[in-house]
Amino acid sequence: MQYMLMFYEDPADAARGQDPVHAEAYRGAWMSYIGAMVQAGVFRAGEELADARHGTTVRTRQGRRWVQDGPVADTKEHLGGYAVIEVPTLDDAVEWAARSPSAQGAGATEVRPVQPQPDLPG
Please say if the pLDDT value at position 102 is more than 60: yes
Q: For 56, phi and psi rounded to 5 degrees?
A: -135, 130
pLDDT in tens, 27-47: 999 999 999 999 999 999 999
pLDDT in tens, 42-81: 999 999 998 877 888 888 999 999 888 876 665 677 889 9
pLDDT at 71: 67
**3-state SS class at 26:** helix
Q: For 48, phi and psi rounded to 5 degrees?
A: -85, 145
pLDDT in tens, 79-92: 899 999 999 999 99
What is the C-alpha separation between 92 and 33, in angstroms, rounded? 15
**3-state SS class at 94:** helix
pLDDT at 116: 85
Domains of the chain, CATH where assigned: 2-55+72-113 (3.30.70.1060)
Q: How far is CA 56 from the centre of its chain?
A: 17
**Of 68, 41, 37, whose CA–CA distance to 52 is shortest?**
68
